[in-house]
Amino acid sequence: MNTKTLLLGAAVALLLVACGQETHQSSGTDMGFDDPFVSDVIGVSPQHLNADFWISRKMDKVLLSPEAITAFNAKNTAQDPTLYDLNAMADRLDRDDLIARMRTVSRISKSPRIYEDGTPVTAADFARYEAMLNLDAIADQNTVGFALVVRRTAMRSYPTHDLIFSKGAKDRDIERFQESALFPGDAVAVLHTSTDGQWALVQSYNYIAWVPVEAIAVGTRDEVLGYASRDNFLIVTGDRVFTVYNPDVPQVSEVQLDMGVRLPLSRPKALAHNLYGQNPYLSHMVLMPVRQEDGTLALKHALIQRKADVHVGYLPFTRANIIRQSFKFLGERYGWGHRFNGRDCTGFVSEVYKSFGIKLPRNSGDQGRSAIGTNTRYEKDAPLADKIDRLKRGKVGDLIYIPGHVLMLIGHDQGKPYVIHDVHGLGYLKDDGTLYKGTLNEVSLTPMLPLRSSVDHSYLQSATTIKTLP
């Protein structure tokens, strides 16, 4: 870079500062350009967006060993009705039990709904969705199957790709049939199929909903549950990584793997030096589930580069790693129920903790009500000062629950608590006392105390639970 270019870059930076804009260095600066930091988020500057800013040496202490986390999960699954032990799933379900499980997710909305173009969803439309449930095919006793998920897939309220929204919704971000998502290698119990045979009602470790049958591969109970419990495994610790391209087996070529995905490691001697025409010495070799033409399960080897953001075994559970993991999602688009190839507030929290092997309920209400961890509960009229005092004593990774949302405490700056959360909107009081309403729609870092849902009500006033894990 020549002297003229450096002087030009410096002059631009000085001009931006003179105009009242904050700036930070970016990769573009090396080319003589600058990328100013522009934000309407109160109390956030570029230094706050660096994970190292929040990490201290004492945060490297391991909080729970892998064995302790296994015991922690077992205890929580035994006492929490929204967590499921697939190993304990019965071979058969009677009719009433199956329908009751289905009705936890497939319910006709009591609120008016519209399609994407604004057309009302009518009673006749819901009757059509109800017909897709294939209720007449439910017998007195129904065999439970087992399957592995072969690709990231949506979990839906009804067996349909139709998109519906709340009447009067100003945007199309929150889609009301979208429930959650499943990821490659997830084990599920298959409870029922739709009328057209294209959808399966499945139970995962923390949710029940409909998924396309093309996204799962059916195996025996032992095959499926054995795959999910292998001792030697790889955990995806990046926001997302991809398997290495190969020209021979497209089902395991460039497959997206999100944070928390667990895949068994396998490097047989016959493949030690050549897999799909590539020497695998620079990659991890894993077994991935593949759906065969008849819908049954096969396991195929795939490669994940050693340089990828992955870890052999679960990541050590430390406060520092909680920060590092959560910051990997900063700026990812908010996705209600994991829409838009992203995640929502509880999906974000759950996938961070899955990096360490910790399992949580799917929805924020269930997470907040659960006995998991150490919980501080608040009545509606609890003094705000008590909650502020609790946050001052809070630990990195503490979860703050308000109705319909969860935020994660990331640390304190100048005595003020900051949180990271996957959030739709932004609200705080302006200098004149009026409410500023903006958009975040992403995994965001914000100070906690200024956040408000209305002029008279802050997020923290609405908090029902503050939870520490473990």
Residue identified by tokens 């802050």 is: 458
When pLDDT is averaged across residues 14-40 and rounded to a whole number, the result is: 57
Which of 195, 119, 216, 193 has the alpha carbon at shortest distance from 162? 119
Find out whether 325 and 335 touch, Cβ atoms under 8 Å: no
27: pLDDT strictly greater than 60 = no
Q: What is the dihedral of CA 166, 168, 170, 176, to 10 degrees?
A: 0
Supply the pTM of this predicted model: 0.90
**Among positive and negative, which fits the CA dihedral 186, 243, 344, 411?**
positive
SS3 of residue 321 by DSSP: helix
11: pLDDT strictly greater than 50 = no
Helix (H) or strand (E) holding 192: strand 187-193
When pLDDT is averaged across residues 223-231 and rounded to a whole number, the result is: 95
Look at residue 30 in the predicted model and tell me its pLDDT: 55
For each of the domains in the chain, give its residue range(s) and CATH number, in order of start: 1-38 (no CATH), 59-63+317-468 (3.90.1720.10), 85-312 (no CATH)
Which of 458, 423, 460 has the alpha carbon at shortest distance from 439? 423
Look at residue 10 in the predicted model and tell me its pLDDT: 41
User: How many residues are present in the chain?
Assistant: 470
Q: Model confidence at 45, in pLDDT bands (50, 70, 90)?
A: very high
Look at residue 245 in the predicted model and tell me its pLDDT: 98
When pLDDT is averaged across residues 150-176 and rounded to a whole number, the result is: 96
Q: Model confidence at 33, in pLDDT bands (50, 70, 90)?
A: confident
Which of 419, 416, 420 has the alpha carbon at shortest distance from 388? 416
4: pLDDT strictly greater than 70 = no
SS3 of residue 311 by DSSP: strand
Residues 389-431 have pLDDT tens digits of 999 999 999 999 999 999 999 999 999 999 999 999 999 999 9
The dihedrals phi and psi of 264, each to the nearest 5 degrees, come to -65, 140
Look at residue 34 in the predicted model and tell me its pLDDT: 85
32: pLDDT strictly greater than 90 = no
Look at residue 25 in the predicted model and tell me its pLDDT: 42
1: pLDDT strictly greater than 80 = no
Average pLDDT over the chain reads 93
Q: Concatenate the DSSP letters of all residues of 225-270 into one string.
A: HHHHT-SSEEEE-SSEEEPPP-SS-GGGSS-EEETT-EEEB---GG
Residue identified by tokens 């793997």 is: 257
When pLDDT is averaged across residues 128-139 and rounded to a whole number, the result is: 98
Task: Give the rounded percent of residues in the chain with a pLDDT score beyond 90.
Answer: 91
Cis peptide upstream of residue 417 (ω within 30 degrees of 0): no
Find out whether 191 and 68 touch, Cβ atoms under 8 Å: no
Residues 420-452 have pLDDT tens digits of 999 999 999 999 999 999 999 999 999 999 999
When pLDDT is averaged across residues 50-71 and rounded to a whole number, the result is: 96
HSE, side-chain direction, 13 A CA sphere, residue 265: 17
Residues 250-267 have pLDDT tens digits of 999 999 999 999 999 999
Look at residue 290 in the predicted model and tell me its pLDDT: 98
364: pLDDT strictly greater than 50 = yes
SS3 of residue 315 by DSSP: coil
31: pLDDT strictly greater than 90 = no
Q: Rounded to whole angstroms, how far apart are CA atoms 63 and 68?
A: 9
Q: Rounded to whole angstroms, how far apart are CA atoms 15 and 12?
A: 5
**Among positive and negative, which fits the CA dihedral 105, 111, 112, 118?**
negative
Q: Concatenate the DSSP letters of all residues of 213-232 into one string.
A: GGGEEEE-HHHHHHHHT-SS
Q: Model confidence at 5, in pLDDT bands (50, 70, 90)?
A: very low
121's tokens: 């969803």
